[in-house]
Amino acid sequence: MKFEIEGRDMVRKEAVKHSETASHVFVPKDWEDDEVAVILLEEEEK
């Protein structure tokens, strides 16, 4: 699958476990209240 997105900055991070059903990706504080996109880069192991 290919995505084409335009933006003004990018970070590449690993999602951190938050609970049994959710994870977090921390972004810079100055991104607060801005729209962001998260794309899963690695295939899930089955």
Averaged over successive runs of 10 residues, the pLDDT of the chain (46 residues) comes to 94 95 96 96 76
pLDDT of residue 14: 94
pLDDT of residue 43: 79
Q: Is the pTM of this model over 0.95?
A: no
Helices (H) and strands (E) in the chain, counts: 0, 2
pLDDT of residue 5: 94
Dist CA 5 CA 44 (whole Å) = 22
pLDDT of residue 46: 61
